[in-house]
Each structure stands twice: as structure tokens, then as C-alpha cells.
Amino acid sequence: MAAGCCREARGIVQTLLLGTLLLLVGQAVGQEVKAENVTVVEGGEAEINCKLHQYDGSIVVIQNPSRQTLFFNGTRALKDERFQLVEFNQKHVKIILSNVKLEDEGGYFCQLYAEDTHHQIATLTVLVPPENPAVEVKEQAVEGGEVELTCIAHRTRPAATLRWYRDRRELRGISSKQENGKTFSITNTVRFPVDRKDNSGIVTCEATHPALRGQKKQTQYVLDVQFAPTAKIIPSQMVLREGDNLVLTCSVAGNPLPAEIQWSRMNDSLSERVEVHGDLLTIPSLNMMDNGTYVCEVANKHGRSSDQYVLVVYDPGAIIEAQTSVPYAIIGGILAILVFLVICVLIVMVWCSVRQKGSYLTHEASGLDEHGEAREAFLNGGENHKRKEEFFI
């Protein structure tokens, strides 16, 4: 048993010595060669630095992540013109890598071959920022339904963050991530109800990423909401008389816009003098025969709509009376309101006067009572005085 304990103790001592030796070797390595990690955006320029300590002219080799030798003692070994040795001296080795690709990512070896081999690894990290995100719509949005939009960042490293905004408010969506080799494809899907007032509204997809350094990539999507049409007839003037020209405009809204606007006359056909050009109907030189109800009809795949206009043509004398009667009616209404207000003011004034007079009479009667009591007290004052004197005597 004693022999076993000795062997175990000897093993522990050997382990401690080996660990100490490795630590000293690591410190020596750290003292001989130092490398710096670098992070760069794809397509940018990377600077790989190796610092040498106590360099005595020994061999210095720089290798890429695939362990291919880039430079041997300052001499190019790999024919890749993107790597340029810009500095090589007893203390510093600097290499510039231009037009960095994702494939360039990894550890670059700085090796010093002296009595012992010393090396350090400079880790190159390549960031892939997102392009402007793409927006896809699942199906055509229709009034009263819902719209589903998907924002996509096809290639990023690390994964980008996507958010939806509408009227400066964030819309909560569902995010997903798919790995494609060293890059990621990110999606964010949002769904919300729409109405005709949402047509032509703007929804924004925003991508953020460490490589953008606080900036953001945005894509705006203009909502396309389809809805049934509406029609409204607008006349060129309100009061018409014989000889006037009338232009009716059929104002139409709808998505998609109706392809055709149909004009008709209720219970009759349009006169030969009527001119129809799309949303305009023109009747020149009006006469009494043009009186009637004119109809504008429109339709699209989501519904139909129509509006009516009743045309009444007056003779010149009638129209003058109709035009002058309107101001008189207004003046009459104003006068009636003024008379009513004057009557109300008079009633209030009379009521206040009566109330004030009643209060005066009440105070006057009260004053007379006090005066009578004072007079009676004066007349009877002698007798009372005598009684007081007799009482005190």
C-alpha cells in the first residue's frame, strides 16, 4: 500500500511540473509573438498585425486559415494580390487584405521559427450586413379582410433584426431564421385588417445590424386595398334656366377604378344634343324638354354604385324670383330671432322691476312699524320714567 501511495504522489508531482512547464512555455510564446484579432465588413479592408519580441532574424511565416503560406520572411508565397505586405521589420509585421470575402474568415497564423517555434493566431471575423429588405404580400388585400406582409433579409451575418412600422408605431410580427452556410436568412411576417381608408397607406420594414453602425436599412410598402366603387354626380351650377349649358361630372372612387361609366336618363332616353365623354355629360342650350332624372352608373369586380341628378330648367322670370326669395327667407328668419330676443329682454326687465318694487314696499312698511313704536315710546316716556323713579325710591 505504501508503494502505491508513493506512485500516486509521484504522479501528482509530475503533473504539477508539467503544468508549470506549459505555463512557462505559453508565457515565452506570448513574449515572442503577439497577434491582434480584427473584425471587418464584407467587401472592406482588413489589417492583420503581428508583433515580434526579441526578434533575432529568424524565419517569420504568415499563413491563412487553410494553413497556406502567404509570406515567407517578407516574400510573397501565395499569388493572391488582395494580400499586401505593407510593413516588415524586427518588431512588426502588417498585412492588408482588401475586398474581404466571407471565405477569408478564420485564424491567421503568425509563426516565428527560432530555436523553438512560436506562433499566435489573429482571428479575422467578417460581418455581412443586410441589403434593403424585400417585402412580399401573400394575396391581394380586399376591404373588410386582412393583409399579410413578409419582410425578408436574404443574407446576413450575424442574423439581422427586422421590425415593421406603421404611422411611427411598431407592428408586432412573427420572426424566423434560416441558416445558409455561414449566413442567415431572416423573415418577419405581420398580419392586420384593412379598410378602404388604408389604401395607399405606407408600411415600413426596417433592418438593423451591427455592421450598419447605428444606421438602418428600410423598405416602404404602399398598401393596395381593393374595394367597391362609389359614384357622385356634381353639377356645374345649382340653378339652371333656359339657354344655359349644363355639365354633369360623375366623380368615381374605387379600386380598381371602374373601366366604364354609363350615363342614362330615367324613364326616357338621352337627347341627341347630349354629349357624353367618360365621366362628363354635357347638355347645351337647356330647355324644358331636358327636365328629368339623369343617372351615372359604375362597377368593378367588387360591386356596383350609382347616383342620380334631378334636372329642373326654369324660365328667366321664375329663376329671378327663386334667386331673390332665398335672401328674403334668410332676412325674415333673422328678424324673427331678433324680435324673440327683444321680447325675452323686456320680460326679464319687467320681472326685475316688479321684484325690486315689492322689496321696496316691504322695507317701507317695516320702517313705518319701527317709527310707530318709537312714537308710542316717546308719548309714554314720562309715565314710564315716573314708574322707574318710584321703583328706585
Predicted pLDDT at 137:
96
pLDDT at 15: 37
Least confident of 240-244, 258-262, 368-372, 383-387: 383-387
For 8-24, how does the pLDDT look when each residue is reduced to its tens digit (9 = 90+)?
444 433 433 333 333 33
pTM of the model: 0.65
- Which segment of 44-53, 166-175, 326-335, 382-391 scores lowest on mean pLDDT? 382-391
Q: What digits encode the pLDDT tens for the residues 359-388?
A: 555 555 455 454 455 444 434 544 444 444
- How much is the pLDDT for 366? 52
So what's the pLDDT on residue 133?
96
CB atoms within 10 A of CB 304: 12
Q: Which residues contact 110 (CB under 8 A, 6 or more apart)?
A: 33, 35, 50, 60, 62, 93, 119, 120, 121, 122
Cell output for 392? 328706585
| Spatial separation of the C-alpha atoms in residues 257 and 71, rounded to whole Å | 69
Q: Give the integer Cα–Cα distance in Å for 244 and 91.
A: 100
Tens digits of per-residue pLDDT, 301-352? 999 999 999 999 998 766 445 444 455 567 777 888 988 888 998 898 888 8
The mean-pLDDT minimum among 228-232, 248-252, 350-354, 381-385 falls in: 381-385
Tell me how many helices (H) and strands (E) the chain has.
3, 28
Q: How far apart are the first and last CA of the chain?
A: 144
Nearest CA to 236 among 289, 288, 294? 294
**Is residue 93's pLDDT more than 60?**
yes
